[in-house]
Chains A and B, each alone.
Chain A
Amino acid sequence: MGAPGLHLRIPGLTIGTWPVLAALELDFAPGQTTVLLGPSGSGKSSLLRLVAGLLPMPAGAVLEASDAAPVRPRLAWMAQQDLLLPWLSLLDNVALGARLRGETPDLARARDMIVAVGLAGRETARPAELSGGMRQRAALARTLMEDRPFVLMDEPFSAVDAPTRHRLQELSARLLAGRTVLLVTHDPLEALRLADRILVLVGHPAVPQDIPVPNGPTPRPAHDPAVLHAQAALLERLAEAVT
């Protein structure tokens, strides 16, 4: 898939009277996964919400795709909570986007997405009948159903247990390959497994800094010595950023 890249330039971001982000200019490479890492309150979620159009762009800010077409209608959003609608079946939740746009959903494709995330046979289940990990997989299926070149993920796996998170990371890396992904996380291991590029937000207001990424294709195995070594270094780096 030939997903375009993204270019973001902001003169800083202030929420209320609180300066969250410093002036910054970032290019997100086409078809690559960029991970934004930082401690809580570092402004990483704000940056993602800005790109998603969920926060008003400050005056003078620019967000454009490398192919010059509009960005917002071509992005998909996945949040920390699964945001499944409790009154809809899994199938209807996956097909939600089209219905909200007033289009007829492609239910056959929705079923394929459910199979792809390993939830075949649970199409009629309501979210309350699914485990936390299954619900997050359903959210992933809904995100894939949108079939957008830009995918924004805000700590998508932080609410599930570690083994489930590990499997979800592999699943999403496989299914989102080729798309331009922005992933926000506070988990260094998740960043090192999934990222083509890692940006750590440090300071106040926050400035993004590039962190070297281990070699090898994503998802990188968690037992890779390079990943483990980098994880220790990254953790120390983040701990410094907290102070």
Chain B
Amino acid sequence: MNRDAALRLLVSGIGLIGIWYFVVWVTDAPHFMLPTPLRVAQSLWRQWDIIGGHALVTLAEILAGLATGVAVGLATALLVMAWPPGRRWLLPVLVVSQAVPVFAIAPLLVLWMGFGAASKIAMAAIIIFFPVTTAFYDGMRRTEPGWLDLARTMGATPRAVLWRLRVPAALPALASGLRVATAVAPIGAVVGEWVGASSGLGYLMLHANGRSETDQMFAALIVLAAMALALYFAMDRALTALLPWQPDSITEDTP
């Protein structure tokens, strides 16, 4: 991050905290409804060992869910692409699977997989795999027709067309899918923790809420947001570095 971007982040942060203080001052809300930023910072400082421990649990669930969801998403897209019966049978099922809200099946997953990490990883994976599958599959389908013509006149094998043309051609589209997946991964893990868990930031927030320890809840929320942001930017950086040939027409100075 360059100095300008760091400065912008700092100004935005100070601005947001200022608005927060202003709202507290105007509404005169009691601290169990809306704590001041200072109280939240104090809570974060004093209870860091508790919050940090729960944050690590949630982070592990997010990362495992991301890995599982991306793996399933890639495999599904390749299956649908390379195997025509898979396309006819699997695609409608995929669409139907997204028609069922994951919030609605969350209690079922906890019932089946228990209070541990497995149900949260499954929840995150279910949310993640669909954008990965559709982005990757669409990318493979939209391979430049001229490349496919060229491959045909060269006597290419179907296998080589898939792995040497369609898959690399779909990587920029897949990268978009991965960015979306990274952004939504924390939702799956936290929803899972709300429904039933013995640890994690979602669990901590639910109990802090129940005890009216709103400052602790806000502290957990800030840690969760920071983790989600760090994850997103790490993914964004990695993808940009891994796909150097992908043209990016929007730079810092683009109007």
Contact = CB atoms under 8 A, between A and B. Distances in A.
Interface of A: 52-54, 72-73, 75-77, 79, 81, 83, 85-87, 96-97, 99-102, 126, 128, 146, 152
A87 B159 contact: no
A100 B160 contact: yes
SS class, residues of chain B in contact with chain A: helix
B165 A85 contact: yes
A97 B245 CA distance: 21
A83 B146 contact: yes
Interface string B211-255: 000000000000000000000000000000001111100000000
Contact of B152 (A54, A76, A85, A102): A54
B149 A101 contact: no
25 contacts: A52-B149, A53-B152, A54-B153, A73-B155, A75-B153, A76-B154, A77-B149, A83-B144, A83-B149, A85-B168, A85-B169, A87-B245, A96-B164, A99-B164, A100-B151, A100-B156, A100-B157, A100-B160, A100-B161, A100-B165, A101-B155, A101-B157, A126-B245, A128-B245, A146-B154
B172 to A, nearest CB: 10
B150 interface: yes
Interface of B: 144, 146-147, 149-157, 159-161, 164-165, 168-169, 171, 243-247
Contacts of B168: 85, 87
A102 B157 contact: yes
Given A87-B245, A128-B247, A77 B150 contact: yes
A97 B146 contact: no
Contacts of A81: 146
A152 B149 CA distance: 12
A101 B146 contact: no
Given A52-B153, A54-B153, 20 more contacts: A53-B152, A54-B149, A54-B152, A73-B155, A77-B149, A77-B154, A83-B150, A85-B168, A85-B169, A87-B245, A96-B150, A97-B155, A99-B164, A100-B154, A100-B164, A101-B155, A101-B160, A102-B159, A126-B244, A126-B245
A52 B154 CA distance: 10
Contact of B153 (A76, A85, A102, A126): A76
Contacts of A126: 244-245
